[in-house]
Structure 1
Amino acid sequence: MTTPTPTPAATDLRFAYGTNGLTDLRLDDALALLADLGYDGVSLTLDHMHLDPLAPDLDAHTRRVGQRLARLGLTVAIETGARYVLDPRRKHHPTLLDPDAGARAARVDLLVRAVRVAAELGAHAVHCFSGVRPPGTAEDTAWRRLGDALQPVLEAATSAGVPLAVEPEPGHLLADLAGFHRLRRELGDPPALGLTLDIGHCQCLEPAPPADCVRAAAPWIRHAQIEDMRRGVHEHLPFGEGEVDVPPVLEALRAMDYRGLVGVELPRHSHAGPGLARSSLAYLKAAERTAALGGVAC
């Protein structure tokens, strides 16, 4: 197993960039780019063009990626939001809510594989989401399916010592922080279950400002994603094109002593990935300085 990078000082935030926004680059080139730009880590989406979770040589490939990360000094979070990794014709299918038990099992298997990869790479969390409630499925039935499907994943995460961080996703069954807390309570608050907090999603649909969402969810945050977004519109935007007030968000993460990665999430911008990776880090560093000086805007 790759030795994890030592935990940073409490005042540090560690920034990452998502490989789902660098899909036009080979993984080696994407990792080298992020290291050269000064990122602390990478949010690594398991997908066919980078680290394929269904590859027959997954273990060997994972070891090679771990060696590459170590050479570059990058830490990692594992993301599982690849669009077509399981079904080449239906985006994000099958989900944990699929009416077909065999289809749900395929998603569970993917997540268990992701936990195994995360343990090998010394990742600080594995991300996942619920999926959209299928037509004709009662809400209570969908919640029951979600909880049942997550049980073997949580068992794997517990054994591996890697938190499973569920992301509230607009339009999904588990769409917001209230949904996360419902799941947490229904499962009996298992220690391995945490939260992926996407700051743009907070701007999009949470009643409180994003910085307040960070403070309210602090005990459960295991992974953080960040981008710009507008109220009521689920569109991931480069910084400066939306309405997120970033410095207070970074200050809230720092104040809660958040130790994971803060990963830029721009999955529809791979065509401009290298340039956006550069400008995003510059924006975040400037926002961090503004926050340290007590400012409220970049």
Structure 2
Amino acid sequence: MIILAATPIGNLGDVTRRLVTALETATVIAAEDTRTTQRLLAALGIDNRPQLIALHDHNEKQRAAELVRRAASEDVLLLSDAGMPTVSDPGYGVVAEAAAQGVTVTALPGPSAVLTALAVAGLPTDRFTFEGFPPRKSGDRRRMLSSLAAEPRTMVFFEGPSRVADTLADMAAAFGGDRRAAVCRELTKLHEEVVRGPLDDLVAWAEPGTRGEIVLVVEGAAASALPFPDAVARVQELVSGGMRLKDAAGEVSAHTGHSSRELYQAALAAKS
């Protein structure tokens, strides 16, 4: 079978007994970075020397069929560098191929940066959506965030430290600067830090620069108290004041929860 195993996201003390047993007995390990896996084995004092097969974003399509073939006759342990494989990490292609070939897939639960950040952020946890890494390019990122302006569920994002300030600024523009959020940094590590506040405040906090692994948790949009026709009228007012239609639709969307696309189209139709 294919065995997906969650590894610590920072603190080695979070390793599970099941993971230790699996590492001690594995004959084949598919790993996002084989060097990271070797360091994990050494840190845990495990003498087992399984065959290590690199599985990353650049080779997963080629490796998936090979690993599934092996898993038909022996267990293949699949690890990412931290947390649960397949969640913004390699593994999905292997699981999909295994499902198609009728090969069993199981998981050894463990640490998750997504759930850890959600738990400590202080924002609603009853419904949430994981959005992974926002696009690196500014224009693509803004379009992606704009499409989420009316999302009512709490949103969880991964981000690199060098882009946190820019991403928070784009979130403030798309969602409104008063939208609550949390920056969760270095979770479970010695310098763990959770900074909570409105997006405008978090932008100011991030501007000097930050380090470490980052998870962003953002409050979902509140149900709009403004009827859609009134929201369209507000867009028209902003356009009359000199704002571009697209920008006006985005701003009203961020404050009302109505779709920016629908506001744009309605205001455009009203002009013709």
TM-score normalized by the length of structure 2: 0.28
* Greater relative CO (CA pairs within 8 A, separation 6+): 1
TM-score normalized by the length of structure 1: 0.26
Larger radius of gyration: 2
